[in-house]
Structure formats: structure tokens, C-alpha cells
Structure 1
């Protein structure tokens, strides 16, 4: 396993991070703990969760993932695990989470963090992330900014000031963003520098062969400002595993849960996935291995967040770390990207 500095922080994170969004929905506590144990065994020191999980979000499973992770964490040396979690913002209107929540203001940030700390059975988290921005911006399959949807929201400076207090109290070590855009990253960086507030060290965004939007503006911003990318959904909700090419009704989140993964319903997703699977076949690789190997060694990725519902899937994900793609294979991948550019933004 390789370890990398996360942005401008002192955190040395494993190049693979174990994602936990299925814990409490598709994985029970025993199977979740088996995954966590296996991750530690192979050298993964980085675990990512969120107050909203399990996924898909619903009132019955709100916070379940953090409880499962917390029960496991209680048996680990706390300083050996880099733990990340997230606060849900108001933009998705999840009414069972603090009544909406109405804002990323001081009261909501503090309440959300205290709830996460209780469920995780710890007195601090290493990385606390804003799961998505409060302000109007396109996300989760929306593809363009619409100024007519502007609304009042908590100023970025006010959000940072609350987070600064929590850093001073020792409840969080570092601050990160998620599902952000270039303006948001630059605004957080600018205000942190101007007012001596915590500087964001990471951004957790979707990044995979079907969605390389990060490379357009965010890659430069984050490189210049020392913000590390935590790449989530490297298999594009299973599309890049090839299973939906073999059987459109194959078991997975997209078939188990209605109206889930809207960004993957666009017309060029399947042709692009088929083209990438063809490259994998010519290289003697599984489609999943090709997709993961590509993300794992992209220059802009600090750590790749993997998730699995079975141990076999987890083992395949881990084994892909040992695969390095040739320059010729990368050229083939780029040619497909230029033909089917970001079909699932």
C-alpha cells in the first residue's frame, strides 16, 4: 500500500480508502466489520463515512453506518485509523436530518458533529467534510449552473468560523469539501487565508471513466491550492464493472433501489461502458480492474474510495492496486473519453 499526504495536512492516508455507504443497508454489521478488518490487514488506514449513510438515504437507516463503524472503531487503536465523516447540507431536503436541515449554520454543524461523534464512539474525527454545498450549484447528475435558482444561504466565512471553533476544541483535525466546484474551493481557500481560518485539505468528488469533469477546472485549482482529491464512485455505481452490460437487471443499487443514481441514466453511459470493457478484454483484465487501476494512479488523486457489498468484490478492488496500465492502454482510454465525453457528469 502507498501512503500520501492529504492536501496541505499532516495526514498520511493510504492510497485506497474504504467507503462504508452500504453498511446498514446492503451489509449487516458482521459483514461490514469483516471488510474493515480486511482493509486494515492490507494496510488501508483511511475510512470514510457520513451522517447521512446508509445509502440510499432513508429515515430508517439514518446514522446506521456510523454506528456500525463506531462499534468497530472501539476495538481499534484510535490513532492508527484516519476517520472521515460528513455533515449533510440542506440542498437535498432530507427532512429526517435535523428538520431538513435548514442550513449549514453553527447550530446545525455543531449538532451534526456531536451526533457523529456519539455514533462513531470517538471524541474527534480526523477529517470533517461538508457533504455538499448549501448554495445553489449543479450536483448529482445536474450539468449546468442556473442563476435563477439562487437562494439565501450561510456565508462561507460563517461556515469556516464554526469549523474553526471545532478545530480549536479538538473535535476535528482537518476540514474537507465534497461535491464541490472550482468557485467553492477557491472561496473556501481565499477566506481561510484572509481571516486565518482552517484551510480545506481535501475534496471528495465523483471521478471515474464515465465522469472526468474534475479534470476540467478542479484539477488545476486543487493542485495549485494543495487540496487532495478523494475520488469516489470509481466504478460508477457498477457500470464500469461490466455487470449491467451482461445483464441489465443484475443485482446492484441501480436495480435494487428505484430512482437511484440519476447521473447514470444518460444515453451514452452504456456505449461508453461497453467501449471501456472492450479495452479491458483486450488487455486480459476485468472491466472493474481496468477502471480501478486507471483511477488509482491518476496524478490528481490522493486516495480512491472503494466500496463493496461482498468480500469477493472487495478482494477484486484491492487486487487492482497491483495492475499498472501501459501508456498504450491509457491512450485507448483517452480515445474513448473523447468519443463519449463525460456521459455521467
Structure 2
């Protein structure tokens, strides 16, 4: 498994990251533990979760269950905690509909981290991420109508300083080691970087945003920021919530699939997405490569990639994904992917 630097932290993480957003709903505790064992045995040393997981759907009754399942694995494998890099998140207002989530601030950070640590049954979190910007986000199809003109820049920057100072206290306590963002913009990331460097507070190491053959917003400006500031992308939904597997083509909805729980796949099932998926499936077939493997391997060719997060509700899916580590896309395949992208840009 290839290893990549996690920003300027000196930490190296596997180019594939085990995602756990289904742990506690579609994925049982026993299966979650088996996935942890399998992932680590196959060279993956990076695991991502969040306080609001599992999702699809988010429910008050299951919030935190994914962290708890990782926690019971940690409790059974105390000597192995240092074998992997554990990333989790503070959801803030992302939980406002199910738990009256308050905005991320120095008032919420200590208590939230204590909750993360308790559920995860660990003494420290390697990468602590802010799940959503307090001011709003372009992510999850909000790019079509997001309006930043209502922001108060002074308040935004003051909140960033407040959060960074609170994070520094958590670093000093040993509760967290590094800091990352999620669902952020280029402007927001640049401000976090500027403030942290000015004050000597935790520097942004990574940004976790959606990225796949079907969702390439990162290419427009964040890619440049990554290159110049050493902030690596942790890509979520590199298989576009399963669309790029082809299993949903021709209006199919496999039993137990994500689409059976979330019919529009978070706004991804538009009229234009089906021909886009067809185009990529044809490229995969032409070059005799599995579409799952091609989609992941393509993500990993991007120079700003830190790691690509995948999720597997069943063990067979995990084993299939792990087979892509030896896949290397030809230049001809990459050229055909570029052609398909130009013909099917931003399909959702």
C-alpha cells in the first residue's frame, strides 16, 4: 500500500482510508471489527469516522455509534492503537436537525472532544476535523445556490481564532495531535492557514471534501491551494455513493444498498448523471479494468491526494476494493477519462 504525507505533520497515511459512516446501521459491530482487522492486515493505516456517524439516515438514536464500534475494537486491541491513524470530526451545526448542534467554538470543542475520546476508547485522536464550516458550505450540491454575501467576515475570523486557540489547548493536553477541515472552501482554508501560522496554533493538515470522476469541484481552486500549501485532500465518496460501480444503472436499486435508504443519493441522482456514469463504464470496459478499481485508481493519480476514503457495507466489497492496489491506469485510459469528463462535467 502506497503511503502519502499527511500535510506537513510528518505522519504518513495509506492512500486508501477505511470509512466507517455505515458502522452501526448497515454495518454491524462484528462486521465493523472484521473490516478493521482486514484493512490493517492489508496495509491500510488510516480510519475515518465522525461524531454524527452513522448516516443515511442520521438519527438521534444512532449518533455516535460508529465511534463506539471503533471504540470496542480499540478496547479489544489496546496494543494496536499505534498501528493506525484515527481521524474523527466535530459536527457543529451539522447536527442541528437531530441534536440542536451548536456552532463550533471554544465553548463546544472541549466537551465534543471528550465525547469523541470516550466513545472511541482512546487517549488521543490523530486527526481532528471540523465537519462543516459554521458559515455554510458549497458542498453537497449547495454550490448551485450558496450565497456567501451574508457572511460577516469579522465574526468569521474571530471564530476561527477562537477555535484554533481552543484546539491548541487540546493539543497541549494530548487529546488531539493534528487538525483538518471538511467541506471547506479555498478562501476558508486559506484563512485557517493564515491565522494558524500567524499565531503558532495548529495548522491545517488536510481537507476532506467530496471528490470523484463525477464531482470535481476541488480541481477549480482547492487543487492549487493544496499544491502550494501542502494541504492534502482526503477524498470522500470517490465512488460517488456507489454510482460509479454501475449497480444503479437502468433504475436499479439493489436491496440493502445506499440508494434503498436514500433514493436520491444526497442529490446525486440527476437526469445527467446516468449518461455520465455510462461514459465512465464504457471507458472501464474499453481498457478492461473494473469500474470500481478505475474510479479509485484515477483519484489516486491526482497530485493533491492524501487519501481516498471508501466505505464497505459488506466484507466482500472491502475485499474487492483492496484488489485495486495493483491497478495502474494506462495513459490511453486516462486520456479517455479526460474526454468523458469534458463531455459530462458537473453532472450533479
C-alpha distance in 1, partners of 2:263/2:292?
Answer: 24
Aligned to 1:140: 140
Q: Is the 8 A contact 2:253 2:260 kept in 1?
A: no
Q: Is the 8 A contact 1:13 1:45 kept in 2?
A: yes
C-alpha distance in 2, partners of 1:91/1:247?
Answer: 30
Report matched runs for 1:165-180 at 5 Å.
165-180=169-184
Report matched runs for 1:3-152 at 5 Å.
3-56=3-56, 57-74=58-75, 75-76=77-78, 77-91=80-94, 93-96=96-99, 100-144=100-144, 145-147=146-148, 149-150=150-151
Of 206, 210, 214, which residue of structure 2 is paired with 1:206? 210
- The alpha carbon displacement at 1:243 in A equals 0.2
1:292–1:123: structure 2 CA closer, same or farther, 3 Å change rule?
same
Q: Which 4+ stretches in 1 moved above 3 angstroms?
A: 147-154, 251-254
- The alpha carbon displacement at 1:148 in A equals 5.4
C-alpha distance in 1, partners of 2:298/2:307?
Answer: 13
Of 248, 264, 270, which residue of structure 1 is paired with 2:252? 248
1:247–1:311: structure 2 CA closer, same or farther, 3 Å change rule?
farther
- RMSD in angstroms over aligned alpha carbons? 1.7
- The alpha carbon displacement at 1:49 in A equals 0.5
Deviations along 1:140-189, whole A, 9 cap, x unmatched?
11114313554766621111111111111110000000011100110000
1:259–1:103: structure 2 CA closer, same or farther, 3 Å change rule?
farther
**What secondary structure, in the 3-state scheme, does the structure 2 residue paired with 1:18 have?**
strand
Report matched runs for 1:152-171 at 5 Å.
155-171=159-175
Aligned to 1:295: 299
**What secondary structure, in the 3-state scheme, does the structure 2 residue paired with 1:54 have?**
coil
C-alpha distance in 1, partners of 2:264/2:162?
Answer: 33
TM-score (structure 2 length as normaliser): 0.94
Q: Is the 8 A contact 1:101 1:108 kept in 2?
A: no
- The alpha carbon displacement at 1:255 in A equals 2.5
Q: Is the 8 A contact 1:238 1:252 kept in 2?
A: no
C-alpha distance in 2, partners of 1:39/1:276?
Answer: 27
Q: Is the 8 A contact 2:49 2:66 kept in 1?
A: yes
Please list every run of 5 or more consecutive structure 1 residues that lacks an aligned counterpart in the other structure.
none
C-alpha distance in 1, partners of 2:214/2:223?
Answer: 16
Q: Is the 8 A contact 2:254 2:260 kept in 1?
A: no
Aligned to 2:345: 341
- The alpha carbon displacement at 1:52 in A equals 0.3
TM-score (structure 1 length as normaliser): 0.94
1:245–1:133: structure 2 CA closer, same or farther, 3 Å change rule?
same
Please list every run of 5 or more consecutive structure 2 residues that lacks an aligned counterpart in the other structure.
none
Q: Is the 8 A contact 1:91 1:135 kept in 2?
A: no
Q: Is the 8 A contact 1:229 1:300 kept in 2?
A: yes
Are 1:219 and 2:223 counterparts? yes
**What secondary structure, in the 3-state scheme, does the structure 2 residue paired with 1:316 have?**
helix
C-alpha distance in 2, partners of 1:8/1:271?
Answer: 40
Are 1:269 and 2:273 counterparts? yes
- The alpha carbon displacement at 1:139 in A equals 2.1
- The alpha carbon displacement at 1:40 in A equals 0.7
**What secondary structure, in the 3-state scheme, does the structure 2 residue paired with 1:264 have?**
coil
